[in-house]
Amino acid sequence: MYLGIDIGGTTTKMGLADSSGTFLSENSFSTSSYSNVNQFLSALEGEIIRMVSLVGNQLQGIGVGAPSANFHTGVIESAANLGWSGQLNIKGHLEEFMKCPVEVTNDANLPAIGEMIYGGAQVMRDFVTISLGTGLGSGIVSNGKLVGGHHGMAGELGHINVKPNGRKCGCGRRGCLETYVSATGLKRTLFKLLADYNGGHSELEEYAFEDVNAQKITEAALRGDKIAIKAFNYTGRILGNKLADLILVTDPEAIFLVGGMAKAGALLFNPTKESLVESMLNSYESTVEILPSKLPLEKVSLLGACGLIARSERQLKKSKHITLLERKSF
């Protein structure tokens, strides 16, 4: 059994899964309720004890995803959207607390691990996942290995620049991709279009900004709302254009779109694919697929956290097997 922990700015999700990715138990609690890191850790420890009591010594380890988590060191490094400042050595703390292996990565990498271990990328060596939620995250796998980079922070695609002096981003810069391509970006685009068309063209024009979300925009678009459809087309075209640049750098077999916005299906996928074809270098045409996840979208990150420790265990077994073969050949 593997315990996965997905620490988000609002909610921490936990799941206990077997080697096939089937959850025995799941739970969540509010991250944002704890402004003090020690209080958060106390709550986390209590939940871990409760869940592990279900399987006892069958637990093989714990996988953790968190914002600004360095996969080389296991340290959460001053995450802007967590309620405490400074560094938290989550790997060291949990290994000392539970006396079992712990693997840690940036939360944007979790869907990539989930797809690699349990999902549509099990037979792929090179692929990318794009997580479309409140922001935009990405996980890059090259030659079967997660790309972490020198500082363990590779894959921040959401913060590449789309438009100089464009929309203000939570990171402090302007024009970041996630201000245009994310659930929040989609909503900002919708209200820009509503202002441009000056009323009378959308069922959403009566709503205040805070009362609209990506799901409402999706539902309106499916009912034929022209402004909602335009918002998806604009979002997809920007995403496709930037994915064309990403393909030049990573040369993946496939790109998976995951996260809440991916539930929009063809509304997002079609304009993204069209823009990708228009923007892609000719030699890459028809060689890279844009795919939905084969995992439940609400569970893909949690499965990725479980997959972190499952992957580590498999790599260890493979290493021991190779060493044994070398000894026999000697």
Q: Give the largest CA-CA distance in the chain.
A: 80
The per-residue pLDDT for 84 is 79
Task: Specify the 3-state DSSP secondary structure of 247.
Answer: helix
Instruction: State mean pLDDT over 39-57.
Output: 91
Cite the DSSP H helix spans in 160-223: 183-197, 214-222
The number of CA neighbours under 13 Å toward the Cβ of 166 is: 18
The per-residue pLDDT for 35 is 82
For residue 315, pLDDT beyond 60:
no
Instruction: State mean pLDDT over 108-112.
Output: 93
Higher pLDDT, 229 or 285: 229
- pLDDT tens per residue across span 137-194: 999 999 999 998 887 778 889 999 999 999 999 888 999 999 999 999 999 999 999 9
The per-residue pLDDT for 70 is 86
pLDDT band at 311 (very low <50, low <70, confident <90, very high): confident
**Domains of the chain, with CATH numbers?**
2-109 (3.30.420.40), 120-292 (3.30.420.40)
Nearest to 251 by CA among 227, 287, 220, 224: 287
Q: Are 256 and 127 in contact (CB under 8 A)?
A: yes
For residue 211, pLDDT beyond 50:
yes
The per-residue pLDDT for 154 is 84
**pTM higher than 0.85 for the full model?**
yes
For residue 24, pLDDT beyond 60:
yes
Residues near 96 by Cβ (< 8 Å), separated by ≥ 6?
Answer: none
